[in-house]
Structure 1
Amino acid sequence: MPTSTRTPQHDSAHPATSDVPLVTEDPRFSRRQIVIAIVALSLGGFAIGVTEFAIMGLLQEAVADLEITIPQGGHLISAYALGVVVGAPLLALPGATRERRKYALFLLALFVVGHGLSLLAPNYETMLAARFISGLPHGAYFAVAALMAAQMAGPTRRSKAIAAVLGGLAIANVIGVPVVTWAGQQFGWRWMFAIVMVLALITMAAVATFAPRQMPSKHASMKGELKGLKSQRLWVGILLAVVGFCGMFALYSYISPVMTDVALLDARYLPYVVGLYGVGMVVGNFIGGWAADKSVLGTVIISMALISVFMVLFAATAHIALLALVFLFLVGASASALSPSMQTYLIDSAPRAPQLAASLHHSAFNAANALGAIIGASVIDAGWGLRAPSYVGAAAAAVGVLIAGYVIWLSRREQAQG
C-alpha cells in the first residue's frame, strides 16, 4: 500500500492541495481498473439516490396508501434523512480502522434490510421507523466509498473521483428516479423499495468483484477521529452544508404538488419532471467536481449564490410550466455542483478524521433534507401556499453565501497564522 504523505496547509479557496493526508494513485492498479472500481462504488450511490429522491415523486401515492396528509407524508422524507444524520457518524467511527471494502459491503447489507422492512411495513408508524433504519448506512457508505475513490485516484484527481462516486446519486435522478416514479404510479409506490433492494444487491456483487481491498492509514483510530471534531472549520462547514442544502430540499420535497397544482401539469408527466431535475444534477455534479479541483470554496460560494437566485425564479414562474422546468433544472445543477466541493472541504477541514469528516457531509446533507421538508410542511400548513417553500429556501441559500464568505475568511486567517 502506498505511503501517506502530508501536504502543507493551503487556503481551500485557491487551487492548491489541502491539509489532508493524501496518497499517490495506487500503483498496483491500472487506470482502467481504478475506473471500474469507482463505477462499482458509484452503483451504491445510484441505489441511494433512488430511495432518497423517488419518494418525493411518489409522495401523493404514499399519502393515499397510508391515509395521511401531505405534511405527514413529508415526514417519510424526514425520517430517512434523520436516519442518515444519526447513522453517518455512528457507523463511520467503527469503520475508521476496518478494511474499507468489507465495511462497505456490511453497510450495503444493512441498507437492504431497511428496505425490506419498508416494503413490508403495515402502517404509517412502522413505515417511519423502517425509513429511519434505511437511512442509517447512507452517510457511512458514501464516506467509505469517497475515501476509497480518492485514494485510488490520487491527490490531483481526488475531487473528480469523489464526484464520480456522488455521480451515482445524480445519475439516479435521471434514470432511476423517473423509472421508479413511473413504476410506483402504475403498480404501487412500494415497488420503489423492492427495486432499491435489487440495486443494492447488484452493488454488493460489483463492489465485492471489482473494488480492491483497502486498509485505512496505520495511524487511523476511533480516538483520532474523535479528536478531529475539534476543528472549527469542520463545524462551520457542516453549518454551511445544512443551510445551503435545506433550501433545495424545501423546494424538491414538494415538487409533486407544485407541478400538478400550480404549474397544472398532469401527474403522468412527473417522471419527466424528476428526470429533468436529475439531468441538472448530473451536469452540476461533474462541473462541480472539475471546479472544486481548482477552487473548493470558490465553487461553494458561487453554487450557493446560484441556488438562491434560481429558487426565487422557480417560485416566481411556477405557474408557467415551461419556465418552472427551466429553473428547476438550474436549481438541480447548482445544488449538485455544491456537493463535491463540500465533501472535499469537510475532509480537508479535519485531516486527522477523514472517515468521520466525510460521513458528516452526508449528515449535514440529510439534516438539510429533514429541515427542508419540515420547513416546507410548516409554511404550507400556515397557508402560505405551495410556492412558499421555494422562497424560504432561497433565503436560506442566501444566508449560506454569507457563511461561505466567513469560511473563506477563516481559511485565509489560518493560512496566515500557519
Structure 2
Amino acid sequence: MPFSLYMLGLAVFAQGTSEFMLSGLGPDIAADLDVSLSTAGTLTSAFAVGMVIGAPAMALLGRRWPRRTALLGFLVAFLLVHVVGALTSSFAVLLGTRVIGAFANAGFLAVALVAAVGMVEPNAKGRATSVLLGGVTLACVAGVPGGALLGQFWGWRSAFWAVALVSVPAVLAILRSVPGGASGTRVSGARGELRALREPRLVVTLLLGALVNGATFCTFTYLSPVITEVSGFPESRVPALLALFGAGSFIGVTVAGRFADTRPVAFLLTGAVALLAGWVLFALTAQHAVAAVVLVLVQGALSFGVGSALITRALYAAAGAPTLSGGFATAALNVGAAIGPVGGGLALAAGLGHRSPLWVSALLVALALAAGVVALVSVSRRESREATAAATAPR
C-alpha cells in the first residue's frame, strides 16, 4: 500500500477521535460553558447531522478541485475549527465549530475514499478501504480513551488541541505525498454521476451499510450502561472495554480488506449471520462478565468487518460515479450512526431495560440480512430471465 494512503488514515484517525471523543467530555463542557448536559449533548447530534448533509454536498464541491487540493482544504478547515473550539468560551460558537468540522470531515472522507481506491490496482479496493477505515477503528482504540484521559487531567479543551496537533503531520504528509492530479471527472459530469448513484445494487448496498452501522452505534453508544448495569463491571473498566471494542473493530477492518475484493458475497453473508447471532447471544448472556468481554471484542470485529466490506462493495458498484461515491457511502454510514442511538434510546426510554440496545442492534442487522437476501434473489431471478431470453432469441 502506498505511504500516502497511510497518511490519509492518520487524518481519518484524528477526525474519528473528534467525532467520538465528546461521549466522555460532555459533563466538563456543560459545567465550563454553563449549559445543561442535554444541551451539551447537542454537540454530538450537530456533528452527526453535519456528516450526513455534508458528505454528498462536500463531495460535489470537491469535484471542482484536484484531489490533493480538496483533501488539504478540508483537513486545514477541520484543524482550524478545532483551534477555535479549544479557545472559545461561547457554546454557540462551539456548536458552530462542530457543524463546520463535520462538513470538513465529511468532505475529507468522501474524497479520501475515492482517492484511496485510485492509488491501488482496480482489484484492491477492499485493502485500500481497510487502511483508510483503520484510522476510525484506531480512534476507538486509542483516540477516544486518550481524549477522555486528557479531559480528566487538563480539561476538555486539551482534547480539541490534541486533535488539531495530530492533524498537522497529516497536512504536511498529504502536501508531500498525495498526487496532485485532477479530481477524476469534469464538473459537467455531475448529473451523470447522480444518475449512476440510482443504480439498484448500489442503493441496496448503501441501505445495508446504514442498517449495519446503525446496529454498531446503537450498542456502542449505550455500551457503558450495558457493561456496568448488566455485566456488573465498575465504571473504571468502561474505557478498557470501549478500547477492546475498538481493537476488535481494527481486526475486523483488516480481515475484511482481504476478503472484500475476492469473495465479497460469501464474506458478507457469513459475516452478517454471525453478526446477528452475536448480538442475540450478547443480549442473552450479558449478565456473565466473561461472555460480555468476549462478545465486546467479537462484535467489534464483526460490525466493522461487515461494515467496511459494504463500503467496498458500494465503491465497486458506483463505477459510474467515481467522485461522488465516497460522499454517498459516508452519508449512508452516518445515517446509521444517527438512527442507531435513537433506536436504542427509545428502547431504554420505553423501559425495556439496559439490554434493549443489544436487541435493537440485532433487529437492525436482521433487517439488513433480510434486505440483502431479497436483493440477491431478485438479482438471480433477473439474470436467469435475461439468460433465458438471450437463449431463446431468434438468431
Which structure has the highest helix share of the two? 2
Q: Give the superposition deviation at 1:347.
A: 1.9
Whether the 8 Å CA contact 2:184–2:322 is kept in 1: the answer is no
Choose which of 16, 38, 57 in structure 2 pairs with 1:90.
57
Give the CA deviation at 1:124.
5.7
Q: Cα 1:63–1:397, aligned 2, differ >3 Å: closer, same or farther?
A: farther
- 1:296 corresponds, among 264, 287, 292, to 264
The residue type equivalent to 2:293 in the other structure is: L
Q: Cα gap change, 1:404/1:117 in structure 2, threshold over 3 Å: closer, same or farther? A: farther
Whole-Å separation in 2 of the counterparts to 1:174 and 1:148: 25
Q: What is the TM-score of this pair, normalised by structure 2?
A: 0.88
Confirm or deny: 8 A CA contact 1:281 1:336 kept in the other structure: yes
Contact 1:101–1:214, Cα closer than 8 Å, also in 2: yes
Q: Which amino acid counterpart does residue 60 of structure 2 have in structure 1? A: L
Could you tell me whether the CA contact under 8 Å between 1:346 and 1:361 is conserved in 2? Answer: yes
Contact conserved, 1:78 with 1:369, CA < 8 A, in 2? no
- CA distance in structure 2 between the aligned counterparts of 1:84 and 1:44, rounded to whole angstroms: 16
Shift, 1:411, TM fit: 4.3
Instruction: Give the match for residue 392 of structure 2.
Output: none
Matched, 1:362 2:335: no
Contact 1:56–1:255 (Cα < 8 Å) also in 2: no
Q: Structure 1 263/64 Cα, relative in aligned 2: closer, same or farther at 3 Å?
A: farther
Whether the 8 Å contact between 2:74 and 2:108 is mirrored in structure 1 is yes
Match of 2:219 among 245, 251, 254: 251
Pairwise mapping of residues 59-208 of structure 1 onto structure 2 (< 5 A)?
68-69=36-37, 75-120=42-87, 122=89, 127-208=94-175
Of residues 215, 229, 232 in structure 1, which corresponds to 2:200?
Answer: 232
Q: Is the 8 A contact 1:56 1:256 kept in 2?
A: no
Q: Deviations over 1:234-256 (max 9, x none)?
A: 22222211112111111111223
The question of whether the paired residues in 2 share the 8 Å contact of 1:237 and 1:345 is answered with yes
Partner in structure 2 of residue 372 of structure 1: 340
How does the TM-score come out when normalised to structure 1? 0.83
State the one-letter code of the partner of 2:310. Answer: M
Which residue does 2:391 correspond to in 1? Answer: none
- Residue deviations 1:180-234 (CA, integer Å, cap 9, x gap): 2222233333432221111222211111122222323355632222222332222
Cα RMSD for the two superposed structures = 2.5
Contact persistence 2:27–2:37 (CA under 8 A):
no
Aligned residue number for residue 3 of structure 1: none
Equivalent pair of 1:139/1:360 in contact (CA under 8 Å)? no
SS state at 2:156 partner: coil
Which residue in 1 is equivalent to 2:210?
242
Deviation at 1:384, TM superposition (A): 2.3
Residues in 1 aligned to 2:360 and 2:352: alpha-carbon distance in whole angstroms: 11
Matched AA of 2:354: L
Which letter maps to 1:382? A
Displacement of 1:74 in angstroms is 5.3
Worse overlay, 80-89 or 403-412: 403-412
Q: Identity of aligned pairs, percent?
A: 29
Asked if 1:210 corresponds to 2:177, the answer is yes
Q: Quick one: distance in 1 between partners of 2:112 and 2:356?
A: 36
Residue of structure 2 equivalent to 1:37: 4
Does 1:305 pair with 2:244? no
Counterparts in 2 of 1:391 and 1:122: CA distance versus 1, 3 Å: farther
Alpha-carbon distance, 1:314 to partner: 2.5
The match for 1:279 is 247
Query: Residue 139 of structure 1: SS of its match in structure 2?
Result: helix
Alignment-mate amino acid for residue 79 of structure 1 = A
Task: Determine helix, strand or coil for the equivalent of 2:320.
Answer: coil
- Partner amino acid for 2:50? G
Aligned residues: 384
Q: Distance in 1 between matches of 2:350 and 2:80?
A: 37
- 2:390 is matched with which residue? none
1:270-297 deviation per Cα after TM superposition (whole angstroms, max 9, x unaligned): 3212211111011000111111011223
Q: Is the 8 A contact 2:314 2:329 kept in 1?
A: yes
Q: Which runs of 5+ in 2 are unaligned?
A: 388-395
Contact preservation (8 Å) 1:234, 1:357: no
The structure 2 residue matched to 1:383, chosen from 351, 354, 369, is 351
Greater C-alpha Rg: 2
CA contact (8 A) 2:260 2:313 kept: no
- Distance in 2 of aligned mates of 1:253 and 1:67: 22
